[in-house]
């Protein structure tokens, strides 16, 4: 009896996947649990196991441009040709559509190139009215000399005429030097989900400016004696977890016209990788000390950059921290990652004059912007969360008090 291997749902948000590499070939004998393929999902590259014992008789061809829907057949063990052909019609249509899409893109580019090349064929009367230099400039800038009235002697086209024509052209008339790139599975999913997020989630934004002089002092004191070197991002993530503990109604998300309240506080961390962005999750952050949080962030970031995260390591949570301070970004607003209900965008620490007790001094400030889902959070609720976060990082002794895995400072 044949056994069908389907495209698995390797994460709650996965609707389709791409076969990156088969680790078996037709004719190979496998047993349940054997790794047979690498599948690219919306989050990472994952391994797929055989579900039964037998001989591989059919494999869907590797294709980096083919997005296979979840639960479509990708392989058959001990099967017949009819099994694959009859049950895999939907996948065959996907292959057809993908090929047609790519061919259409190539055709459009070829048509543009052919049109552009036609424009620059010298007509008989034009050759004698332009110098070789002018002709070269016209060719390089893709300008039709037949459409230019020369201002030189006997209507001769001179360099100034070319420059005048070039500056007066619209962008669509000017040279287009481009090609299209077939995006990765992750990039396609990011494009789809961010578009849906902006269209379907009623975002609103709150920004707060924090004095982080004491946060800097705390970090310096910790790192003098602590075995784990703590980053500002570690402190921010821990502070956000503490602020959410004070505001449990913010630990929720919207899905299927319902608000789901979470018990554990799980905070996602935005990590940039070559293919795009992934958000591994620090689970139950308030049960962990600062050292543990710091080490876990490092480990998750390392796994993310090597596409080695397991689904449980990047699913869950109601909020994400996105920090662009290391790139010199002072302030920005981020897009919520559904089904989460908020995301905190953190900029760089800036040294500037600040007012304290009616006097001006030089201090360090940090701007943080909370993007919130108005279906779940109202302005006052989100504002209270951001205020509590601000109070914690401005007077961060609470962070140290809630970290029982650190050396005495």
Q: For 381-387, what is the mean pLDDT? A: 98
Q: How confident is the model at residue 177 (pLDDT cuts 50, 70, 90)?
A: low
Q: How confident is the model at residue 168 (pLDDT cuts 50, 70, 90)?
A: low
> What is the three-class DSSP state of 54?
strand
CA end-to-end distance (rounded Å), the chain? 67
User: Using alpha carbons only, what angle is made at residue 286 by residues 284 and 290, rounded to the nearest 5 degrees?
Assistant: 110
Domain at 120-182: CATH architecture: Irregular (4.10)
Nearest C-alpha neighbor of 30 from the set 76, 70, 68: 76
Query: Cβ contacts of residue 273 below 8 Å, gap of 6+?
Result: 304, 305, 307
CB 180 within 8 A of CB 65: no
Residue 64 has pLDDT above 70, yes or no: no
Nearest C-alpha neighbor of 137 from the set 116, 157, 154: 157
Query: Cβ contacts of residue 352 below 8 Å, gap of 6+?
Result: 362, 363, 365
% of the chain beyond a pLDDT of 90 = 44
Domains 120-182 and 185-401 in one fold: no
Cα separations in angstroms, 297 against 234, 238, 285, 289, 341: 8, 11, 11, 12, 21
CATH number of 3-95: 2.40.50.100
288-304 tens-digit pLDDT = 999 999 999 999 999 99
pTM: 0.68
One DSSP character per residue, 356-380 reads ETTEEEEEEEEEEEEEEETTT--HH
Q: What CATH class does 185-401 carry?
A: alpha beta
Q: Report the catalytic residues.
A: 374
Cα(163)–Cα(13) distance, rounded to whole angstroms?
A: 53
- What per-residue string of b and e applies to 124-137 under the rule 16 or more CB within 10 Å gives b? eebeebbeeebbeb
89-117 tens-digit pLDDT = 334 444 444 445 445 555 555 555 544 44
> Encoding tokens for residue 260?
């789901």
Cα separations in angstroms, 292 against 15, 166, 301: 34, 61, 14
Q: Determine the pLDDT at residue 365.
A: 97
**Domain boundaries of the chain, sorted by first residue:** 3-95, 120-182, 185-401
């Amino acid at each position: 009896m044949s056994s069908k291997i389907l495209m698995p749902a390797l994460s709650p948000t996965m609707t389709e996947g791409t076969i990156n590499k088969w680790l078996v070939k037709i004719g190979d004998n496998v047993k349940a649990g054997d790794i047979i393929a690498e599948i690219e999902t919306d989050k990472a590259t994952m391994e797929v196991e055989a579900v039964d014992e037998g001989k591989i008789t059919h494999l869907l061809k590797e294709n980096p441009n083919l997005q296979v829907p979840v639960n479509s057949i990708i392989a058959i063990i001990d099967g017949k040709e009819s099994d694959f052909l009859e049950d895999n019609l939907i996948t065959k249509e996907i292959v057809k559509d993908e090929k047609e899409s790519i061919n259409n893109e190539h055709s459009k580019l070829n048509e543009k190139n052919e049109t552009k090349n036609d424009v620059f064929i010298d007509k008989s009367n034009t050759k004698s009215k332009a110098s070789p230099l002018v002709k070269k400039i016209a060719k390089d800038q893709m300008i039709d000399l037949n459409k230019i009235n020369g201002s030189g002697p006997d209507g001769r086209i001179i360099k100034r005429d070319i420059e005048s024509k070039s500056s007066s052209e619209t962008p669509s008339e000017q040279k287009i030097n481009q090609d299209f790139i077939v995006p990765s599975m992750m990039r396609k999913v990011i494009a789809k989900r961010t578009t849906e997020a902006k269209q379907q989630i009623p975002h609103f934004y709150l920004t707060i400016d924090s004095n982080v002089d004491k946060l800097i002092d705390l970090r310096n004191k910790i790192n003098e004696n602590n075995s784990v070197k703590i980053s500002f991002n570690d402190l921010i993530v821990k502070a956000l977890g503490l602020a959410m503990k004070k505001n449990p109604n913010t630990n929720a998300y919207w899905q299927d016209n319902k608000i789901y309240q979470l018990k554990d506080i799980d905070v996602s961390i935005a990590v940039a990788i070559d293919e795009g962005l992934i958000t591994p999750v620090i689970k139950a952050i308030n049960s962990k000390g600062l050292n543990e949080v710091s080490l876990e962030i490092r480990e998750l970031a390392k796994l993310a950059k090597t596409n080695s995260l397991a689904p449980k390591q990047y699913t869950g949570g109601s909020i994400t921290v996105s920090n662009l301070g290391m790139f010199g970004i002072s302030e920005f607003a981020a897009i919520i990652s559904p089904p989460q209900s908020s995301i905190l965008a953190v900029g760089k620490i800036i040294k500037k004059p600040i007012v304290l007790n009616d006097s001006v001094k030089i201090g360090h400030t940090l701007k943080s912007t909370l993007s919130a889902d108005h279906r779940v959070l109202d302005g006052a609720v989100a504002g209270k969360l951001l205020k509590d976060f601000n109070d914690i990082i401005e007077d961060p002794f609470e962070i140290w008090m809630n970290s029982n895995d650190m050396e005495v400072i």
